[in-house]
Each structure stands twice: as C-alpha cells, then as structure tokens.
C-alpha cells in the first residue's frame, strides 16, 4: 500500500555525555518519521542511528528519504538494503502504530539492569543502586588490567544479595589470554554472563571461548542487525545476543526470530527517545522476547520530559511506556 510520509530531524544534547570507544558522545541526532495513509491514519517512527556502531549514517538515511519525495509503498520499504536497520525499524514502527488496536494486551514486568562504572567506583555505585531497588547489574570491565580488576570482582560479589545478578561487559577489550583468565575466574562464580570479551570480529576466538568455559558469553558489538545475529546463530553461537532493537530492523522480525529459534536475547538501549523506546519496551513487556534484565537503565538522557518519557526504574512495567509520544515530539520540531 502506498502512503505519504514526512520527517523532521532532531538534535538533542545528552545530560551526561557518554564515553565511547570513539570519543565522547554529547548529542543524539535522529529523525522522527510521520506516515499517513490515504484513510488519514497517522503513525510515527524514530530513526536513531549509531554510525560508529555500524548502522547507516543520518546523511544516508536523509538521502533515501529525500529521494522518495514524500511518497512510498511497502514494497519499497521491504527493498531497503539490510544496512538501513534504523530506517527499517522506524518505518515498521510507524506502520504498526497505524494498525495497532487501542486495547493493548496484558503486559508483564521485567527487571532493568543498572550500569556500574569501571574500577573501584563500582562498589559505591552498587550500594546506591541496591538502595534504589535494582537487582540486576552490569559492571564495565577491561578498562584496567585483570590484575587490578579481578580482586574487585570478589569485593562486588561479596556485596551482592543472593537474589541479585551481575553481568560483566568487556566491550571487546581483552585479548584471548586475558579473556581466558577472566573466564577461568568466573567459572566458579555466579556471573549471569560476560558481554563481548574480545574484539567483535574475532569470530573463532569467541566461539572457542564459549566452547572452552562454562561461563555464558554474550555478543554485543559483534552484531547490529538481525542478519548478523542469524549469522552467529548459524556458526553455532548458543550464548546471549545483545540486541539494540532500534538499530536491528523491524521489531516484528526480531520477535519472530526469537520465537522461532528460542534465541537468548538481552534488549539494550541505543539512546533513542521515548518514541522508539516505548515501542521496544511494549514488545518486551508483551512477553516471549526475553526474560533477562533489560539494558535500559539509562536514567535521564535528554533532560526533557517530552523526549525522555517516563523514567525507567529497577522494574519496567506498563508505566514506562509513553502514550503516543510521536505527535508532541513532531510538533516540538516544527
């Protein structure tokens, strides 16, 4: 079916700039998409690329949108190259918002993982987050040497209540020898999983580590879109897949893949606004996609309630979903 669309770019400073492997990230740029059927039904979607993570760039997305001159059909969207995962997510979001019935199904609740900073600062942060009610934690490792960080692991575990969970994220920083040391140490410890122990493209090393140690491993930087997750699955990856759904393509395809293959998935934020986040959380809370703590413990991101939406606490439930935030965001960009 053909429909009209228009779009408005946004540029939002982050309350707290994020340290990334590619320097400081201080501003979130993206596009709000508005689609309208001939019947007058309207839906909104969000394009929120992270080019240094491997998505299309904002310029590439804009060029495509401009080329279509405000009118498109479902076949053209379906024909978008795999690379355009953010655009594919956004058009699918806008289209499904149009057909969504007002009466949403019953929603479940899921824990949210709190992020612990690297090094000794993690200990104080853990106390704080426990007090706030969090029961799932992700500790950033691989920043200092294993000699400095490994002793802290036991300090952290000693302070962790029995019903709480700890995952580690090395962001690909270890070589295979360092990863081996950590995996050996973690083998007898209650670690939920270790995220991206070595470089994203070190496929043989990742598969080897997963086979050699009992600790569960997760891929994050190794995958952006659903196609990459499928590739790892075909290589025999039986660990966790960290998916940032806003980058991965249509949400419905992710849901179908998980239901068909029983893939073990962690959903994670791409620092999108409440427009994309609400769609992702709604899918997560509908059940069946994941039972693991959500990687959406991002706190206040933009310092503006229109873009941040409801604050996400230790437990995500229906109160975390913004109700049709697209219209207000669209108007704010006029």
> What residue ranges bind Mg ion (CB under 5 A)?
169, 195, 220
What does 63-86 look like in DSSP terms, one character per residue? Answer: HHHHHTTTEEEHHHHHTS-TT-HH
**For every residue of 117-185, which 3-state class applies, written as one string?**
CCCCHHHHHHHHHHHCCCCEEEEECCCCCHHHHHHHHHHHHHHCCCCCEEEEECCCCCCHHHHHHHHHH
Show the CA angle centred on residue 85, arms to residues 139 and 65, nearest 5°. 135
Smaller CB separation from Mg ion, 43 or 49: 49
Catalytic residue among 129, 140, 216, 262: 140
Minimum separation from the CB atom of position 293 to Mg ion (A): 13
Minimum separation from the CB atom of position 167 to Mg ion (A): 9
Q: Is 244 a catalytic residue?
A: yes
Smaller CB separation from Mg ion, 85 or 197: 197
Smaller CB separation from Mg ion, 93 or 222: 222
Pair of tokens at residue 294:
């959500």
Catalytic residue among 129, 216, 244, 262: 244
Q: Within the chain, where are the H helices? A: 58-67, 74-78, 85-99, 121-131, 146-159, 176-186, 203-212, 226-234, 245-248, 251-261, 274-285, 305-308, 326-332
Smaller CB separation from Mg ion, 192 or 195: 195
Minimum separation from the CB atom of position 101 to Mg ion (A): 35
The Cα–Cα gap between 181 and 176 comes to 9
Q: Is 140 a catalytic residue?
A: yes
Q: Please choose, from the candidates 272, 329, 319, 262, the residue with its C-alpha nearest in 3D space to the C-alpha of residue 296.
A: 272
Minimum separation from the CB atom of position 39 to Mg ion (A): 42
Contacts of 75 (CB under 8 A, 6+ apart): none
Show the CA angle centred on residue 174, arms to residues 85 and 160, nearest 5°. 90
Smaller CB separation from Mg ion, 56 or 220: 220
Minimum separation from the CB atom of position 169 to Mg ion (A): 4
- Name the β-bridge partners of 3: 72
Which active-site residues does the annotation give? 140, 244
């Amino acid at each position: 079916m053909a429909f009209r669309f228009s779009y408005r770019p946004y540029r939002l400073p982050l309350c707290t700039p994020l340290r990334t492997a590619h320097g400081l990230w201080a501003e979130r740029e993206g596009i709000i998409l508005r689609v309208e059927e001939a019947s007058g039904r309207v839906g909104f979607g969000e394009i929120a690329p992270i080019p240094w993570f491997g998505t299309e760039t904002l310029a590439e997305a804009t060029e495509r949108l401009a080329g279509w001159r405000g009118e498109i059909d479902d076949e053209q969207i379906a024909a978008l190259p795999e690379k355009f995962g953010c655009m594919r997510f956004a058009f699918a979001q806008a289209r499904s918002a149009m057909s969504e019935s007002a009466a949403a199904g019953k929603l479940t609740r899921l824990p949210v993982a709190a992020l612990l900073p690297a090094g000794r600062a993690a200990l104080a942060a853990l106390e704080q987050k426990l007090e706030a009610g969090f029961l799932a934690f992700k500790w950033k490792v691989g920043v200092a040497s294993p000699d400095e960080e490994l002793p802290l692991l036991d300090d952290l575990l000693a302070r962790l209540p029995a019903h709480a969970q700890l995952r580690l994220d090395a962001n690909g920083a270890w070589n295979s020898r360092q990863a081996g040391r950590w995996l050996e140490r973690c083998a007898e410890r209650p670690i939920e999983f270790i995220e991206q122990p070595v470089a994203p493209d070190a496929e043989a090393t990742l598969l080897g580590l997963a086979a050699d140690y009992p600790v569960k491993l997760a891929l994050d930087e190794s995958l952006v879109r659903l196609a990459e997750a499928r590739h790892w699955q075909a290589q025999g990856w039986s660990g966790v897949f960290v998916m940032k759904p806003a980058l991965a393509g249509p949400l419905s395809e992710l849901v179908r893949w998980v239901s068909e293959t029983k893939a073990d998935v962690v959903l994670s934020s791409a620092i999108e606004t409440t427009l994309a986040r609400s769609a992702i959380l709604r899918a997560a809370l509908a059940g069946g996609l994941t039972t693991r703590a959500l990687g959406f413990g991002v706190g206040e991101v933009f310092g503006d309630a229109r873009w941040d939406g409801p604050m996400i606490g230790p437990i995500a439930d229906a109160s975390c979903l913004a109700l049709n935030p697209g219209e207000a965001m669209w108007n704010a960009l006029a």
